[in-house]
Amino acid sequence: MDLQDVRKNAREQMKGYCRVCPICDGRACAGEVPGMGGLGTAASFKDNVMALAEYKFNMRLVHGVTEPDTSVQILGRTMKIPVLAAPIGGVSFNMGGQISEEAYVTGVLEGCQVHGTLGCTGDGVPPFISETGFSAITRLGGEGIPFIKPWEDKELFEKMDKAGASGASIIGMDIDAAGLITLKKMGRPVSPKPIAKLAEIIKRCPAGFLVKGIMTPDDAKRARDAGAAGIVISNHGGRVLDHTPGTARVLTDVAAAVKGDMAVLADGGVRTGTDVLKMLALGADAVMIGRPVSVAAVGGRKDGVVAYLDQVKEELIQAMVLTGTARADAVGKDILFRK
């Protein structure tokens, strides 16, 4: 499937929700939450993209790397590419609802499966958002990572049990959704979790636990000490707090605090294979991609996601060869240019 057609299709189907810009950088959709934008001025969303753009590569050609290995071992399995689809929920109120939540989630998960990696599923107030994710993961024999919001106990534990029943070996919590005041307004409180509470949640979790929304070394250490299998360095694509730094700016320090103890993933503004390689050089074991995968899934379902990931993989391989990087699981910081 041609990516141009996928994007054209998505532009029509997401009218009023996403303009499918040449570069998805948060400028055209500032403040559009619900929708695909960033909260407030969208400074956090924009800085995710800007922070990555500020890094440049040292191009190196005198070496023997011609067929780099893009696979990584994380969260107890091999991912053939170091890229996962980020959890995104709410097709009807964020993307225009021209395709169903089920068609969307299935496209994302199956597209990732073709590439030997995993897609994640989201959560929200209407129960069908998480339910659709759990059923799709069940249908795929546990191939997917369901994310749950930091609800209060009853809803949290019910959802965690259902997520466990899907066969998923990893369950995530976007702890930064505590910033989604819309949920509170709808009478469905979400909240930050003190370390003792997080440890209790992780102990009850029937699978490995991934904490998403970590932006400081201290929070990373607390997530590790509470027993998490990994973290996702993320500002929720700039949708929960205006004026946070781009994730690429905090990645090195946060990763260094826990590297080797747990899986370190990062997301925010990753658009291309070169962005993926920059995130790995800054300390991530793997990355998640959000909005561009949504566009690909709405515009072309599974085939659209496969076509987009094909492109990201090709760009990653090209960038690995031209920086002399043989393995995605051992990317040197020295591939990045510093003045």
**Binding residues for ligand FMN (CB under 6 A):** 36, 48, 86-90, 94, 122-124, 147, 174, 212, 234, 236-237, 239, 267-270, 289-291
**Distance of closest approach, residue 62 Cβ to ligand FMN, in angstroms:** 34
Nearer to ligand FMN, 277 or 324 (CB): 277
Nearer to ligand FMN, 89 or 283 (CB): 89
**Distance of closest approach, residue 46 Cβ to ligand FMN, in angstroms:** 10
Nearer to ligand FMN, 89 or 111 (CB): 89
**Distance of closest approach, residue 123 Cβ to ligand FMN, in angstroms:** 5
Running DSSP on this structure, what letter comes out for residue 232?
E
Alpha-carbon distance of 143 to 24, in angstroms, equals 28
Peptide bond into 126 cis (omega under 30): no
Nearer to ligand FMN, 147 or 151 (CB): 147
Q: In what order do the strands lie in the sheet with 263-267?
A: 83-85, 286-289, 263-267, 230-233, 208-214, 170-174, 145-148, 120-121
Nearest residue to 294 (alpha-carbon basis) of 99, 162, 140 = 99
Q: What is the bridge-based pairing of β-strands 145-148 and 83-85?
A: unpaired
Nearer to ligand FMN, 68 or 87 (CB): 87
**Distance of closest approach, residue 152 Cβ to ligand FMN, in angstroms:** 17
Nearer to ligand FMN, 94 or 117 (CB): 94
Alpha-carbon distance of 330 to 106, in angstroms, equals 32
Alpha-carbon distance of 60 to 73, in angstroms, equals 26
**Distance of closest approach, residue 271 Cβ to ligand FMN, in angstroms:** 8
**Distance of closest approach, residue 247 Cβ to ligand FMN, in angstroms:** 8
Give the CA count within 13 Å in the CB-facing half-sphere of 71: 7
Q: What is the bridge-based pairing of β-strands 145-148 and 170-174?
A: parallel
Q: Which whole-number Å values give the CA distances from 13 to 22, 73, 112, in the listed order?
A: 16, 36, 22
Task: Break the chain down into helix, strand, coil percent, rounded to 5.
Answer: 45, 15, 40
Nearer to ligand FMN, 174 or 285 (CB): 174
Find out whether 120 and 146 touch, Cβ atoms under 8 Å: yes
Longest Cα–Cα distance of the chain, Å, equals: 61
Alpha-carbon distance of 121 to 141, in angstroms, equals 15
Q: Write out the two tokens for 35.
A: 């929708």
**Distance of closest approach, residue 171 Cβ to ligand FMN, in angstroms:** 12
Nearer to ligand FMN, 301 or 324 (CB): 301
**Distance of closest approach, residue 60 Cβ to ligand FMN, in angstroms:** 28
Alpha-carbon distance of 214 to 231, in angstroms, equals 7
Q: Which residues touch 307 (CB under 8 Å, ≥6 apart)? A: 1, 2, 3, 6, 296, 300
Nearer to ligand FMN, 281 or 288 (CB): 288
Nearest residue to 49 (alpha-carbon basis) of 291, 331, 217 = 291
**Distance of closest approach, residue 241 Cβ to ligand FMN, in angstroms:** 13
